[in-house]
């Protein structure tokens, strides 16, 4: 089996801002087989996945919920996309 290139860094696109970043700098959100949406800390959970970068504006609960709904085709449960240090929209 051929060796991987040592300089290869896998990249993914953020569902919110649409910028490509290294995979390890992002959080994976997955729609599991049973239809529930959850954060995937391991990056290996089965199901349809999307990524959100660590930019505070991308971790806003309203923006990230809309992006996850668009990417995964399902509405996330309240509190599922709450990130530590995320900004909250005030009305």
DSSP state of 14: B
Asked, for residue 86, whether it belongs to a domain, the answer is: no
Q: How far apart are CA 72 and CA 48, in angstroms?
A: 7
Asked, for residue 90, whether it belongs to a domain, the answer is: no
Total of domains in the chain: 1
Is the pLDDT confidence value at 20 over 70? yes
More confident residue, 85 or 59: 59
pLDDT at 91 (0 to 100): 45
pLDDT at 85 (0 to 100): 61
pLDDT at 80 (0 to 100): 85
Q: Which two tokens stand for residue 71?
A: 């990417």
Q: Please give the mean pLDDT across all residues of the chain.
A: 88
**Using one digit for the tens of pLDDT, what is the confidence trace for 39-81?**
999 999 999 999 999 999 999 989 999 999 999 999 998 888 8
Asked, for residue 60, whether it belongs to a domain, the answer is: yes
Full residue range of the structural domain in which residue 38 is found: 11-72
Is the pLDDT confidence value at 88 over 70? no
Q: How far apart are CA 33 and CA 30, in angstroms?
A: 9
pLDDT at 30 (0 to 100): 96
């Amino acid at each position: 089996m051929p060796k991987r290139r040592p300089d290869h860094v896998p990249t993914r696109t953020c569902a919110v801002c649409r910028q490509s970043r290294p995979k390890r700098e992002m959080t994976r959100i997955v729609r599991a087989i049973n239809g529930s949406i959850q954060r995937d800390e391991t990056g290996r959970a089965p199901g349809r996945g999307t990524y959100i970068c660590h930019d505070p504006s991308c971790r806003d609960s309203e923006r990230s919920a809309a992006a996850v709904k668009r990417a995964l085709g399902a509405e996330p449960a309240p509190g599922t996309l709450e990130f530590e240090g995320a900004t909250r929209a005030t009305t």
